[in-house]
Amino acid sequence: MALEPGDPAPAVRAPNQDGDAVEPDWTGVSVVYFYPKDDTPGCTTEAEQFQAELESYRDAGVTVYGVSTDGVDSHADFADEYDIEFDLLADPDGEVAEAFDVELSGGVASRTTFVVVGESIQAVYTGVDPDGHARNVLADLIETGVVTLDD
């Protein structure tokens, strides 16, 4: 069972697509989305849509992280091919997934998204449909007053 709203966000550290160690600072607002595999249809749709919304996320002060059990090289190729500018965290041993209690099946993470606000889990999305998910999460953040966007 994944972490639930109100649970503290776990301290995690993992390399991104550039091989740089990333240790998210949960004091602001972050979206952490777990996805099964780089360069597959649903995962590509989800990553491209988070990238398309990235400017709005950044304008709202939200940091986006994608996480899968693929390695750094796979993430680097995926990010290069689809111009992904946010951190894709490599979790080949499933340690980040385990910290968030995300189910691993056949070595890949189930599609689960967390909103972290002020070091605690604010919202959890499971059984995610990748098409439209990035926009829906941003809309929920605005609707619930977690963030605002100036028009």
pLDDT tens track for 5-57: 999 999 999 999 999 999 999 999 999 999 999 999 999 999 999 999 999 99
- Among 48, 96, 105, smallest CA distance to 71 is for 96
Based on the residue annotation, tell me whether 125 is a catalytic residue of this protein: no
Which residues contact residue 87 at a Cβ distance below 8 angstroms, ignoring those fewer than 6 apart? 16, 17, 22, 64, 65, 66
Residue 131 one-letter amino acid: D
What is the number of H-type helices and E-type strands within the chain?
Answer: 5, 9
CA distance to 59, 62, 99, 133, 134, per residue, from 125 (Å): 22, 17, 16, 9, 11
Longest dimension (CA), the chain: 44
Catalytic residue among 12, 29, 43, 89: 43
Residue 1 binned pLDDT confidence (cut-offs 50, 70, 90): low
Ordered by where they begin, the domains of the chain are 26-143 (3.40.30.10)
151 pLDDT above the threshold of 60: no
Q: Which helix (H) or strand (E) holds 11?
A: none
Specify the residue for token string 């091919």: 81
Q: What digits encode the pLDDT tens for the residues 111-139?
A: 999 999 999 999 999 989 999 999 999 99
pLDDT in tens, 26-38: 999 999 999 999 9
> What's the predicted TM-score (pTM) here?
0.95
